[in-house]
Amino acid sequence: MSKNILELHDVSMIYGPVKALQNITLSVQQGEWLAIMGSSGSGKTTMMNIVGCMNKATHGVVVLDGEKISRLNAKDLTAIRRDKIGLIFQQFHLISYLTAVENVMIAQYYHSLADEKEALEALERVGLGHRARHLPRQLSGGEQQRLCIARALINHPKLILADEPTGNLDEANQETVMNIFHQLHAQGSTIIVVTHSPEVAAHARRVVHLEYGRMIRDEVNVECPAA
């Protein structure tokens, strides 16, 4: 059980004079729900980009599911991203000209084979079964975010990475999205949520606090109902 899905050893990210991340060391176990918290400019998005294989750290070692991703080239990073990570963005980032189900299928397509039935099931699971043939602009914000989640889940990633998943959502939709996360957690998915909102972080089982690129606290959320 206690296998580490993600390990960061002394990771730093330096853009010229700016030290976005400094000497972060962190390990995440399989099935964990971790929140990375911090205000704007604390380095949380940088961290998410490194973990999500979208940026390479300037220093340090990142191990994802037993692979040292900090040593990989761009092409291999793409493959890791495709096979192991499900990404959820604050701005949703859907492809405007594809329908909901097609937006899910495109992730399948890049991964292996597009399977419409499976994609529809994934939409069903996030409660979007009836909106499968709609274009993103015809969906509400909450629906778009649920679509993003469905897309992130479709390839059974080892790790779900969400960057401010509720940043653009109202409370009701935030609730829905959090409920989905709870279900995923219950099913054993590993989830990392990057957020500035204590409310969102409160759902997680473990919270890491960042400030000015440094990790200042790593605590287990004791109040959590289903810990």
Partner 1 sequence: MFFRIIRGAVTRQKQKLLMMACTMALGISLATAMLNVMLDVGDKVNQELKTYGANIMVEPRGASILSDLYGVQEGAGVADKFLLEDELPKIKTIFWAFNIVDFTPYLDVRAGVNGSEHQVTLLGTWFAKHLDIPTGESIDTGINNLKAWWEIRGDRSSQGKWLSDDDETGVMAGAAFAARNALKVGDVIKVAVTDAGGRERAADLTIRSIYHAGDAEDEGLLAPLAVVQRLSGLENKIRRIEVSALTTPENDLARRAAQNPHSLSRHEWEIWYCTAYVSAIAYQIDEVLTDSRAKPVLQVAASEGAILEKTQLLMLLLTILSLACSALAISNLVTANVMERSTEIGLIKALGASDGQISLLVLTEMLIATIIGGIIGYFAGIGLAQVIGQSVFGSAVDIKGLVIPIIAILVLLVTIGGSLPAIRLLLRLRPTEVLHGR
Partner 2 sequence: MKPQKMYFKIILSSLVRRRSRMVVALLAVAVGATVFLGMGAVYYDIPRQMGREFRSYGANMILVSSGADSNLSLAEASRAEALIPPEKLVGATPFRYETMYYNLQGLTVVGTDMQSARKTSPYWQVQGEWPSAENQLLLGTDISENARLYAGSFVELEIVPPRGRKFKKEFQITGVIRSGGVEDGFVLMPLGAVENLLGQPGRASVIEMSIAADSDELTLLAEKIQAEAPGVTPRLVKRIMNSEATVLSKLQVLVYLVTAVVLFLTMICVGTTMMTVVMERRQEIGLKKAIGAENKSIIGEFLGEGLVLAGVGGLLGIGSGYFFAQAVSMSVFGRGVSLPFFLIALTLAASLVVTVLASLLPVTRATDVEPSLVLRGE
Q: Which residues of the chain form contacts with partner 1 (CB under 8 A)? A: 91-94, 96, 136-137, 141, 168
Grouping H, G, I as helix, E, B as strand and the rest as coil, residue 3 is coil
Concatenate the DSSP letters of all residues of 101-150 into one string. Answer: HHHHHHHHHHHS---HHHHHHHHHHTT-GGGTTS-GGGS-HHHHHHHHHH
For partner 2, give the closer residue by CB, 83 or 211. Answer: 83
Q: How far is the CB of 168 from partner 1 (least distance, A)?
A: 7
| d(C-alpha 15, C-alpha 164), whole Å | 23
Beta carbon of residue 93, minimum distance to partner 1 (angstroms, whole number): 7
141: partner contacted, choices partner 2, partner 1, none (Cβ within 5-8 A by kind)? partner 1
Q: How far apart are CA 186 and CA 173, in angstroms?
A: 20
Q: Where are the alpha helices (DSSP H) in the chain?
A: 44-51, 74-84, 100-111, 116-125, 141-153, 171-186, 198-201
- The site for partner 2 (CB under 8 A) is made up of 45, 49, 52, 54-55, 74-75, 78-79, 81-83, 85, 87, 89, 91, 93-99, 102, 105-107, 109-111, 113-116, 135, 151, 155
Min dist CB 109 to partner 1, Å, is 21
Q: Least separation, in Å, of the C-beta of 88 and partner 1?
A: 15
